[in-house]
Amino acid sequence: MGFPLPDSPHACLVSLPTWDAVIGYEESDPTVVGKMRAGYPRFFIHPITRKYLTKLEGLHAGEGERVMAYSSVGAAMRANEFVEERTGIPGRIGDAEGVPILIVPEGGFSAARDYWRHSGEIVSSRQAEDSLAGHLVPQKDGPRFRAELAETMKVNPEDCFLFESGMAAIFTLYRLVTALTPEKKTLQLCFPYVDVLKVQELFGVGVDFVNKARGKEFATALAAIEGGDYAAVFCEVPSNPLLNTVDLTAVSAACRVGNTPLLVDDTVCSHENIDALSLSDAVCTSLTKWVSGIGDIMAGSVKLNAGSPFCSSLREALEIEVPGGSRIYARDAEVLNANAKGLSERVRESNRGGEFVANLLDGHEAIDRVWYPSLIDREAYDEIRTPAGGYGGLMSFTLKNPERAPIVYQAMRFSKGPSLGTEYSLLCPYTLLAHYTELDWAVECGVPAELLRLSVGREPMEELRTRLHEALQLA
């Protein structure tokens, strides 16, 4: 018995069942990519959205031109600036019945797609579907959606801002805080999700990256924070995919001394398990993951700490960036609110299954190492764990015989795709998917090329045990 995959044309599903399929996807092998009907929307344009963009090109593009659609006029303008900076090719902004578009010569299209990926300021497949049909749903219920999601996120509505994707939430917050001191770099603590670091590298004056936030390197970083060296400090708690938990209390104290915003991403374990907000100035969350839990919606949020010295200025800026508190398309917001009603139960069951699987793997003779919050940096994690919180459903692991990873991966009877936080378990060779073009760098940072990341869903424990034992016999 297992939890079913979403039966929706808008599901963000991709199945890469073999190691070779993962490599083929990364190398754009037509024998692999040509069979894919969908994928993670920032990386793989949804078929409905692709059809919509094709229609827009027929209506608005000239010979040798392409079109990308974005979630706001500001996003389209920023995309145009990004394309010209990267390629020297200027585009032009257009309007497709209320949807902002960027029209660029073919040579600038790849950069326009890169902006879509890094910024997350995308057009959803539901919005594309309604645009194709000629009846966009007006955002008249935005305040209600915001209030309902704020209750789910355990924050007051005025301190909750909703975005079209998790990356859009992070990117917007990044732009706002760096605008306060544009001459300063940001600081990234612990190995982060790939595009979080890319945003800091590509869109500002630079970033200092502290890979292992402990010991002397961490002490040096804290001193620099106290000295006011940075525009902001970014960290994921726990981090993805190594599940490290930085000493958030120490970082928070240093940020207060240095008058520096502390911005935390709590997506990996969710606010049900940890309280990152009380120690930070703002928390970003990919609502695509545990809050939705189904895999058929993209969304993100920013929560503000009402006690933060930056709260008023950030709230004022976000109210301009996010009119009415929500940039989520109306039909997407309806789906998200419906999915979010199962959050607490989903997280509780994934906590139980996650700890069970992590302990099973940690004691297995074929496993070299397991990364999971109860097994690494536990003291730092427990400091921010909520009274009823667990250790989450996400973990990473490696085999003692890493050359067997492709065989074990193929044998594991789990859904195989590049996401987490769903009711059904998801497995992926994370380093290959996220860092294929920079594998040597990832390995130098302590992220093994053969690392497998598993997001445990709500399957019964015996079913999880059986699936793992079957595959690990081949290790």
Domain hosting residue 80, numbered range: 42-123
Based on the domain organization, do 324 and 352 belong to the same domain? no
Residues 138-195 have pLDDT tens digits of 877 778 899 999 999 999 999 999 999 999 999 999 999 999 999 999 999 999 999 9
Report the predicted TM-score, pTM, of the whole model to 2 decimal places: 0.94
| Same domain for 212 and 329 | yes
* pLDDT at residue number 157: 97
Q: How confident is the model at residue 25 (pLDDT cuts 50, 70, 90)?
A: confident
Confidence bin at 374 (pLDDT 50/70/90): very high
- In this structure, are 58 and 175 located in the same domain? no
**Residue 184: per-residue pLDDT:** 98
Q: Domain boundary at 288, 308, 340, which?
A: 340
- The crossing angle, in degrees rounded to 10, of helices 215-226 and 248-258 is 30
| Residue 1, in any domain of the structure | no
Q: What is the dihedral of CA 247, 175, 300, 8, to 10 degrees?
A: -130
Query: Within a domain: residue 20?
Result: no
In a domain, 231, yes or no: yes
**308 shares a domain with 357:** no
Determine the Cα angle at 324 with ends 318 and 328, to 5°: 90
Assign residue 167 the CATH number of its domain.
3.40.640.10
* CB distance 130 to 78 below 8 Å: no
- Which tokens belong to 195? 């595009």
Token pair 């509505």: residue: 157
Q: What pLDDT score was predicted for residue 1? A: 39
**What is the predicted pLDDT for the residue at 18?**
94
Mean pLDDT of all residues in 192-200: 95
Residue 319 counted as domain residue: yes
- Cβ-contact 407, 396 below 8 angstroms: no
Task: Please report where in the chains the tokens 């503000």 appear, as a residue.
Answer: 304
| Domain presence at residue 264 | yes
Residue-wise over 116-152: b if at least 16 C-beta within 10 A, else e?
A: bbbbbbbbbbbbbbbbeeeebeebebbeebbebbbeb
Residue 366 lies in a domain: yes
Q: Are residues 330 and 385 in the same domain?
A: no
Whether residue 378 has pLDDT greater than 80 = yes
One domain for residues 325 and 234: yes
CA dist 449 and 439 (Å) reads: 7
pLDDT classification of 95: cutoffs 50, 70, 90: very high
* Segment 165-180, tens digit of pLDDT: 999 999 999 999 999 9
Residue 60 has pLDDT above 50, yes or no: yes
pLDDT at 37 over 70: no
CB 237 within 8 A of CB 382: no
The pLDDT confidence band at residue 5, using thresholds 50, 70 and 90, is low
Determine the pLDDT at residue 415. 92
Q: Does residue 244 share a domain with residue 170?
A: yes
Are 162 and 309 found together in one domain?
Answer: yes
Residue 148 φ/ψ, nearest 5 degrees: -70, -45
Q: Report the CATH number that the domain containing residue 390 is assigned in CATH.
A: 3.90.1150.10
Same domain, 331 and 364: no
pLDDT class of 212 with cuts at 50, 70, 90: confident
Shared domain check, 92 and 155: no
Overall domain count for the chain: 3
Structure tokens at 168: 């859009």
Task: Clarify whether residues 118 and 166 are in a common domain.
Answer: no
Residue 293 and residue 376 in one domain: no
